[in-house]
Structure 1
Amino acid sequence: ADTDHEGATDCAERLRHAVGGAGFDIGGDAAPVTVTASVGLSLPGQLSSLSVTPEMLIHQADTALYGAKAHGRDQVSLVRIDAA
């Protein structure tokens, strides 16, 4: 669905918090395991929305994900594609 950067970031943050707040039972007597999530987002800028391909969005989202991991993990990183 189409959304703006605020909507996309809000959705990603809710997902990140849901994953981080869940304990995953691994069985036996072990305590539930907690995990974190990093999310990379990419959105076309206003001037480039007609020339941005799905492949460009996926590549930039992947770059944003690696940036989130490099800057401490457990966060959302957004890249806006402004090149025409």
Structure 2
Amino acid sequence: MSQQGRGKVALLMATAACFLGGTIGIPVVITLEPFIACYALRSGPPEQFAQVLLGPVAYSSVAVRQGWRGCHPCLTAAIRLRC
């Protein structure tokens, strides 16, 4: 849109989308948090391992084009798991 000379409209739309996403998302997360906590407390070691592994794997699959910089969070998570 900015290449068409409508940069102001694009920024306004992005700002409105961010505001609405936060306004709707925060109450949803607050509402679902007790259920997520109950699930996390009921899960055993295999499920906890899968949950811990999911974050770095998801990040590295998204950041696959960044090479070494995409692997850095995965390595940091692996070091933190050891402690």
TM-score, length-normalised on structure 2?
A: 0.33
Name the structure with the higher strand share: 1
Name the structure with the higher helix share: 2
TM-score, length-normalised on structure 1?
A: 0.33
Larger radius of gyration, structure 1 or 2? 2
Tell which has more relative contact order, 1 or 2 (C-alpha 8 A, sep 6+).
1
